[in-house]
């Protein structure tokens, strides 16, 4: 597992403002470190469903949205990523052809080499599968030359689902473990940009350790892997294409 050269843009499509940090900050920081464009699209701010503390403190809707936006922008900056907010509302995030069309335009603009999004099942949060369904639908539409949107037809970039909060309940069986040891410090700093969810910092630090232990167990002769290996887990949706089994 050697260092990698640039391999093309990374696109992350998430339901709420904080998701990309807990679930994919390592992948994002790795892309940025390689010099690849990394773009995060948040369909909503998570203003209703993921901001319990702010509501308990009596904050109001617009204030909460601004707060979430600021935090997410700080985290994205920490990781070296662009971020865009579609402000489509959460709890529920309502699917619509218009919203899918906006995502098609993002695909045509970014021309991602890799796409990350939520799992298609999540019995704890209906917004997550809704975001995933739209992300997948838009990816297919963007491939059609006949779809009326600016830009060239998209290739067929691979899609990876990032890890949900309770993986087994979401039928999340990881088939890719990504070594994020070299950028874990940046992931931790990005997490610390989200002070309202301070209890998550350690939860996801522990998870990175746990996935790191598993990576070492699956890495074959792992002589080069350090004791404190950190990892993120993903599920690859489409078959991997390759010229070499490894």
Comparison of 66 and 210: residue with beta carbon closer to its own copies? 210
Close Cβ partners of 37 (under 8 Å, ≥ 6 residues apart): 9, 10, 31, 82, 110
Comparison of 161 and 193: residue with beta carbon closer to its own copies? 161
Report how far residue 63's alpha carbon sits from residue 60's, in angstroms, rounded to the nearest whole number: 5
Comparison of 70 and 238: residue with beta carbon closer to its own copies? 238
Comparison of 86 and 100: residue with beta carbon closer to its own copies? 100
CB of 73 to its own copies, least distance (A): 21
Give the SS3 label for residue 23: helix
CB of 238 to its own copies, least distance (A): 5
CB of 207 to its own copies, least distance (A): 7
CB of 5 to its own copies, least distance (A): 9
Between the CA atoms of 227, 192, 47 and 161, what dihedral angle is there, to the nearest 10 degrees? Answer: -20
Between the CA atoms of 107, 108, 109 and 110, what dihedral angle is there, to the nearest 10 degrees? Answer: 40
DSSP 11: E
């Amino acid at each position: 597992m050697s260092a990698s050269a640039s391999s093309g843009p990374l696109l992350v499509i998430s339901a709420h403002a904080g998701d990309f940090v807990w679930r994919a900050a390592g992948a994002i920081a790795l892309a940025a470190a390689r010099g690849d464009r990394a773009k995060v699209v948040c369909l909503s701010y998570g203003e209703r469903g993921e901001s319990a503390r702010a509501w308990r403190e009596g904050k109001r809707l617009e204030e909460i949205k601004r707060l979430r936006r600021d935090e997410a922008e700080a985290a994205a900056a920490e990781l070296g990523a662009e971020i865009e907010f579609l402000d489509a509302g959460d709890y529920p995030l309502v699917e619509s052809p218009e919203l899918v069309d906006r995502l098609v335009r993002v695909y045509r603009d970014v021309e991602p080499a890799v796409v990350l999004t939520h799992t298609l099942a999540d019995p704890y949060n209906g917004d997550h599968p809704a975001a995933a369904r739209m992300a997948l639908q838009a990816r297919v539409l963007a491939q059609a030359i006949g779809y009326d949107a600016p830009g060239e037809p998209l290739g067929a970039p691979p899609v990876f689902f990032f890890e949900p909060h309770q993986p087994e309940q979401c039928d999340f069986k990881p088939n890719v473990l990504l070594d994020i040891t070299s950028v874990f410090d940046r992931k931790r700093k990005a997490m610390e940009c989200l002070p309202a969810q301070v209890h998550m910092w350690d939860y996801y630090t522990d998870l990175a350790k746990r996935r790191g232990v598993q990576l070492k167990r699956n890495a074959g002769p792992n002589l080069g892997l350090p004791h404190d290996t950190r990892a993120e887990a993903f599920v690859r949706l489409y078959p991997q294409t390759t010229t070499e089994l490894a």
